Amino acid sequence: MTLKEIVAGAINPALALLPADMDTPAARVQMLATGLQESRFVDRRQLVGSPPRPVGPAKSFWQAERGGGMVHGVRLHAATSAAAAHLYQARGVLARDGAIWDAIEHDDVLAAGLARLLLWSDPGRLPLMGDIEGAWRLYLRTWRPGAYDHGTPAQRAELRAKWGRNYAQAVAEVAP
């Protein structure tokens, strides 16, 4: 999917279901950069193995695991549980980890909304648009990517460089 398609079909409708103060240009950039980093908005299921197959534990363009922050965490977090409950109801999904995890594989609106709520749950301020390093640190804190945590220094450097490219694409989409 193109970034325009993701914005129109997932991010805009998701943010319309959330409190208005959650919809900021910086939030949109972070959501787009994260989706690009995780799946390029191509893979709805985590690719694993060689050759890569879509059977991994993460689902949606934002690659959320069943027990992770985007599925389990935002459902229970004090700062996000009410908004998450509204999302589940609006999207016709039971507020149970399994139901949420299954739904986000194909419900891009729900997945985008939960991605925004995961960012909202972070105790720090959302980085200003243009703060690539702050956005990278937020991504590491909230998504906790295993490829980075278990990667070699060279792999970590490549993931950081990839973030820079993805972040630049996201900024260009949000603030052309």
Predicted confidence (pLDDT) per residue in 49-90, tens digit? 888 888 888 999 999 999 999 999 999 999 999 999 999 999
Q: Could you count the other beta carbons within 10 Å of the beta carbon of residue 130?
A: 12
pLDDT reported for residue 141: 96
Integer angstrom CA distances of residue 64 from 3, 55, 85: 19, 13, 17
Which SS3 state, helix, strand or coil, does residue 125 take?
A: coil
Yes or no: say if 32 and 11 are a contact pair by the CB < 8 Å rule: yes
Q: What is the pLDDT along the chain (176 residues), one digit of tens a residue?
A: 899 999 999 999 999 999 999 999 999 999 999 999 999 999 998 988 888 888 888 999 999 999 999 999 999 999 999 999 999 999 999 999 999 999 999 999 999 999 999 999 999 999 999 999 999 999 999 999 888 888 899 999 999 999 999 999 999 999 96
pLDDT reported for residue 128: 95
What's the pTM?
A: 0.94
* Alpha carbons 34 and 138: distance in angstroms, whole number: 10
Gyration radius from the chain CA atoms: 15
